[in-house]
Amino acid sequence: MEKYDLIVIGGGPSGYAGAMRALDFKKKVLLIEKNRIGGAGVYNGVLTSKTLWEFSQKISSIREMLPDYEVDFADIDKTVKEAVFERKTQMTVHLQLLEKQEGEQTFFYEKGEASFIDNHTIQIKKEGKELKQVYGDKILIATGSRPRYLSHIPIDEQIIMTSNGLNNLTEIPKSFVVLGAGVIGCEFATIFANFGRTKVYLIDKADRILPFEDDDVAQVVSENLERQGATIHHGASLKRMEIINGKVEYELEYTNGKTEVITVDKALVSVGRIPNIEELALDKIGLKLNERGSIWDDDTQTNISNIYVAGDVTTEMALVNVGEREARHAIVRMFGPAVKPLSYKNISTIMFLSPEVASVGMSEQELKKQNIPHKVVKLDYSTNARAIAMRKTKGFFKIIVTNDNGMRILGMRAVGEHASSAIQAVAYLIYTNQGIRDLADMMHPHPSIIEGVQECLRMLLGKSIYKSAIFKDKLKCYLCENGICTPIEKLAQE
């Protein structure tokens, strides 16, 4: 039986990252992937959706100057396929060359379906037939996730689709409904609204979209979607969704008892993801699951000491950067020096909406819920020279700090053009538990979006260029404690 220091099950972003990190420790590694290297992260997830978003943003900009401009679906399809081909080729060629390196081979790859025989032995099947059994001293499970299906909705991935089925589109639909007003649902609603050829509907069971985010973030995104012609069904429950004569008919019931029936060309069901664990035969080894039906872990280690887990299969947080970080952390725990546990408190995220939304740390609503006193400073994008130059002044910066002289940053939200470029310095301050003064005093490039961050910090220190007492609608600072937020009339001065 072939023996390895590490067997990685799953060749998506998490598994790939874990396998590569193990090579840094000079370990003999076997990577097993059932379908395609890169997984959903390349083929029907992050890369494809973000390529679509980038393309749709360009189309939206063109339409601002040429309202009648229409994009050809063939151009969209070609752009997405080129992006997928480029990424998959990079990853595949990299693995092939690793296998062919001169000297003692340490990396091995098998395409097949993996399942446990015992906590060290993995059976690999190909096309339903057993290929081999292999032994791993350590094992990393990184089998990812897939879209959640709802039993009462006839999802055929052609007319009623999950994110997996969007690859089956052959033209831009004239009308399109999205069930689910979380990040993924809002991203695809934004994409199709940007193309300008689709009447978009978004079913929002809550009173507002993006329920996990602050009201002001959701409001800007919602207003822009509606400006693009989208209809948001606020406070609507789906009574039924059916395929009738090749189209989608859905019925809604609102909180006031009103019902409505609408017919559209296509539907997207975006109601979360579930882990890919059914084929692993986890019952044979007694691997513990959590209350969500995902694999239980303690800082990436399962209840079986030599087996670790990373990525969407835990459903802790279905993000590529989180999964890769978990996998690399797991490998260091296996083969490296002692490290501090992973923290999920200050993860930087991007929401590919319109406008773009970037976040790190805690939100206002989280802090209010936990009754943590804090100060909030907000600066409108319309005061930023770079935003003015781009003619993209819709949005804001919001930084939340502790209510003390140290003013350590608790969280940040940036909504607007280049928002993702603005959060990393703040994320570092949160990670290192530092205050705001050094970043406020740095010389930032001009004109740049990140100058908005600097001006927020200057406001907290009482030395901003624009004065909040004058620009009350553009600059705001307030204190929140005991559930009450009050404006801060006089800021600290240095």
Once rounded to an integer, what is the mean pLDDT over residues 410-425?
93
pLDDT of residue 435: 79
Model confidence at 279, in pLDDT bands (50, 70, 90)? very high
In whole angstroms, give the CA distance from residue 14 to residue 320. Answer: 7
pLDDT of residue 491: 58
Specify the CATH number of the domain 160-271: 3.50.50.60
Once rounded to an integer, what is the mean pLDDT over residues 385-401?
95
Q: Mean pLDDT in the chain?
A: 93
Model confidence at 406, in pLDDT bands (50, 70, 90)? confident
Once rounded to an integer, what is the mean pLDDT over residues 60-85?
94
Q: What is the pLDDT of residues 167-224, one digit of tens each?
A: 999 999 999 999 999 999 999 999 999 999 999 999 999 889 999 899 999 999 999 9
pLDDT of residue 490: 60
pLDDT of residue 493: 58
Q: Which of 131-140, 320-329, 475-484 has the lowest mean pLDDT?
A: 475-484
For the domain made up of 355-485, the CATH class stated in words is alpha beta
Q: What is the pLDDT of residues 23-56, one digit of tens each?
A: 999 999 999 999 999 998 899 889 999 999 999 9
- Domain at 2-146+274-335, CATH from 3.40.50.880, 3.50.50.60, 3.40.1380.10, 3.40.630.30: 3.50.50.60
pLDDT of residue 494: 55
% residues pLDDT > 70 (the chain): 98
Half-sphere exposure of 152 (CA within 13 A, CB side): 6
Q: What is the pLDDT of residues 220-244, one digit of tens each?
A: 999 999 999 999 999 999 999 999 9
Half-sphere exposure of 154 (CA within 13 A, CB side): 13
Instruction: Name which of 307, 346, 144 is nearest 298 in CA terms.
Output: 307
% residues pLDDT > 90 (the chain): 82
pLDDT of residue 332: 98
Q: What is the pLDDT of residues 431-462, one digit of tens each?
A: 888 878 888 988 999 999 999 999 999 999 98
Where are the CATH 3.50.50.60 domain residues in the chain? 2-146+274-335, 160-271
